[in-house]
Amino acid sequence: MKPTDVTDPQYYHKVVDCQWGCPAHTNVPEYIRLIAQGRYTEAYLLNRESNVFPGILGRTCDRPCEPACRRTRLDGEAVAICRLKRVAADLRDDVSEYLPRVPAVKNGKRIACVGSGPASLTVANDLIPLGYEVTIFEKQDRPGGLMWSNIPQFRLPPEVLNEEIDYILDMGVDLRLDTPVESMRRLLAGEMGEWDAIFVGSGAPRGKNLEIEGRYDSDRIHIGIDWLESVAFEHIDRIEPRVLVIGVGNTAMDCCRTAMRIGGRDVKVMARKSREYFKASPWELEDAEEELVEIVENHSPSRFVIEDGELVAMDFDIVDWYEGEGGRLRSQVMDTVRIPCDAVILAIGQETAFPWIERDLGIEFNEWDEPTVDRTTFQSTREGVFFGGDAAWGPENIIWAVEHGHQAAISIHNYCRGLPLDDRPPYGMNLVSQKMGLHEWSYSNDYDEAERQKMRHVHLRERMQTLAVEVEEGFDFEQTLQEAERCLNCDVQTHFTTNLCIECDACIDICPLNCLTITANGEEPELRTRLSAPALNLEQDLYVSEALPQTARVMVKDEDLCIHCGLCAERCPTAAWDMRKSDLLIPYAGLEAGEKRPTRARDLVGV
Partner 1 sequence: MSWIAKPRVAHPGLPRNELGLTQRDYEGRMSTLCAGCGHDSVTAALIEAFYGLNYPPHRIVKLSGIGCSGKTPTYFLNQAHGFNGVHGRMPAVATGAAGANRTLTYVGISGDGDSLSIGLGQLAHAIRRNVDLLYVIENNGVYGLTKGQFSASADVGSTAKKGAANMQPPIDPVLLGLSLGVGFVARSFSGDKEQLVPLLQAGLRHRGFALVDVISPCVTFNDHEGSTKSYRYTREHLTEVADADFVEPKREIAVSYAPGESIDVEMHDGGILRLRKLAEGFDPTDRDRAYAHISERLHRGEVLTGLLHVDKGLREMHDVAGTVDVPLVEVPHGDLCPGSAALDALQESFR
Smallest gap from residue 23 Cβ to partner 1 (A): 29
Which residue, 275 or 439, has its beta carbon nearer to partner 1?
439
Smallest gap from residue 436 Cβ to partner 1 (A): 11
Which residue, 293 or 561, has its beta carbon nearer to partner 1?
561
Cβ(114)–Cβ(198) below 8 Å: yes
Cβ(117)–Cβ(124) below 8 Å: no
| Distance separating alpha carbons of residues 10 and 582, to the nearest angstrom | 10
Q: Tell me which stretch binds partner 1 (CB under 8 A): 43-51, 347-355, 509-517, 590-598.
A: 509-517
Check binding of 210 to partner 1 (CB under 8 A).
no
Any residues with CB less than 8 A from the CB of 249 and at least 6 apart, and which?
278, 279, 280, 347, 348, 349
Q: Tell me which stretch binds partner 1 (CB under 8 A): 114-122, 475-483, 569-577, 579-587.
A: 569-577
| Distance separating alpha carbons of residues 501 and 569, to the nearest angstrom | 11
Segment 511 to 550, residues that bind partner 1, using CB under 8 A:
512-514, 533-534, 536, 550
Any residues with CB less than 8 A from the CB of 170 and at least 6 apart, and which?
none
| Distance separating alpha carbons of residues 367 and 444, to the nearest angstrom | 54
Q: Tell me which stretch binds partner 1 (CB under 8 A): 123-131, 292-300, 366-374, 562-570.
A: 562-570
Any residues with CB less than 8 A from the CB of 327 and at least 6 apart, and which?
none
Which residue, 555 or 567, has its beta carbon nearer to partner 1?
567
Segment 570 to 599, residues that bind partner 1, using CB under 8 A:
570-574
Check binding of 91 to partner 1 (CB under 8 A).
no
Smallest gap from residue 524 Cβ to partner 1 (A): 18
Smallest gap from residue 449 Cβ to partner 1 (A): 7
**Burial code of 179-205, b = ≥16 C-beta within 10 A, e = fewer?**
eebebbeebbeeebeebbbbbbbbbbb
Check binding of 447 to partner 1 (CB under 8 A).
yes
Q: Tell me which stretch binds partner 1 (CB under 8 A): 339-347, 373-381, 397-405, 567-575.
A: 567-575
| Distance separating alpha carbons of residues 202 and 181, to the nearest angstrom | 10
Which residue, 316 or 447, has its beta carbon nearer to partner 1?
447
Smallest gap from residue 307 Cβ to partner 1 (A): 57
Binding mask 422-441 for partner 1 (x = CB under 8 A): -----------------xx-
Cβ(304)–Cβ(344) below 8 Å: yes
82: part of which helix (H) or strand (E)?
A: helix 81-91
CA distances from 183 to 11, 258, 260, 383 (A): 46, 34, 39, 18
Instruction: Write the DSSP assignment of 552-566 as a string of letters.
Output: --EEEEEGGG-----
The three-class DSSP label of residue 430 is strand
Smallest gap from residue 536 Cβ to partner 1 (A): 6
Question: Beta partners for 533?
Answer: none
Task: Out of 383, 505, 592, 603, point to the residue binding partner 1 (CB under 8 A).
Answer: 505
Q: By C-alpha distance, which of 396, 398, 350 is closest to 373?
A: 396
E runs forming strands in 220-328: 221-223, 242-246, 266-270, 294-296, 299-307, 310-323
Task: Out of 3, 11, 14, 74, point to the residue binding partner 1 (CB under 8 A).
Answer: 74
Which residue, 89 or 507, has its beta carbon nearer to partner 1?
507
Smallest gap from residue 502 Cβ to partner 1 (A): 5
Task: Out of 8, 324, 551, 595, point to the residue binding partner 1 (CB under 8 A).
Answer: 551
409: part of which helix (H) or strand (E)?
A: helix 398-416
Q: Which amino acid is at 311?
A: L
Smallest gap from residue 74 Cβ to partner 1 (A): 6
Smallest gap from residue 435 Cβ to partner 1 (A): 13
Segment 485 to 504, residues that bind partner 1, using CB under 8 A:
502-504
Check binding of 481 to partner 1 (CB under 8 A).
no
Which residue, 52 or 535, has its beta carbon nearer to partner 1?
535
Smallest gap from residue 560 Cβ to partner 1 (A): 9
Q: Are strands 343-346 and 242-246 parallel, antiparallel or unpaired?
A: parallel
User: Residue 389: exposed, middle, or buried by beta-carbon count in 10 A (0-12, 13-18, 19+)?
Assistant: buried
Site size toward partner 1 (CB under 8 A) is: 34
Task: Out of 217, 358, 509, 592, point to the residue binding partner 1 (CB under 8 A).
Answer: 509
Which residue, 231 or 572, has its beta carbon nearer to partner 1?
572
Cβ(200)–Cβ(389) below 8 Å: no
Q: Tell me which stretch binds partner 1 (CB under 8 A): 52-60, 73-81, 209-217, 466-474.
A: 73-81
Which residue, 218 or 497, has its beta carbon nearer to partner 1?
497
Check binding of 506 to partner 1 (CB under 8 A).
yes
* Residues within the interface to partner 1 (CB under 8 A): 73-75, 439-440, 445-447, 449, 502-506, 508-510, 512-514, 533-534, 536, 550-551, 561, 563, 565, 567, 570-574
